[in-house]
Amino acid sequence: DGGITQSPKYLFRKEGQNVTLSCEQNLNHDAMYWYRQDPGQGLRLIYYSQIVNDFQKGDIAEGYSVSREKKESFPLTVTSAQKNPTAFYLCASSATGNQPQHFGDGTRLSIL
């Protein structure tokens, strides 16, 4: 959806390095989400945020951190504690809970 922008499209991480994935939305949505997708697999929730300055852990939050300082932005940091970060990362937003989630184009993260 044109209203959600993820960057970069491809990202490479060195051992011991933290990297940050950007997600920006101009849909005026309250809720934002981060998912991880491994090859041939489904979507697993990392973190979600219902409102500015608030966020909750999803099913696989270990090794990741987020912030929600602005309504339109929900960056995800993949820390060095995440030992297997290679995956396709998808950001989504929805007007509120229980509403359609709209996805960005994703970021592919690989280890150098």
Partner 1 sequence: GENVEQHPSTLSVQEGDSAVIKCTYSDSASNYFPWYKQELGKRPQLIIDIRSNVGEKKDQRIAVTLNKTAKHFSLHITETQPEDSAVYFCAASTRSNYQLIWGAGTKLIIKP
* 27 near partner 1, judged by CB under 8 A: no
CB of 79 to partner 1, least distance (A): 23
Asked if residue 91 lies in contact with residue 23, where contact means CB atoms within 8 angstroms, the answer is yes
Sole binder of partner 1 in the list 14, 42, 69, 112 (CB under 8 A) = 42
| CA–CA dist 18, 86 (Å, integer) | 13
* 105 near partner 1, judged by CB under 8 A: yes
* 89 near partner 1, judged by CB under 8 A: no
Asked if residue 91 lies in contact with residue 104, where contact means CB atoms within 8 angstroms, the answer is yes
Residues that bind partner 1 (CB under 8 A): 1, 31, 41-43, 45, 48, 50, 56, 58, 90, 94, 96-106
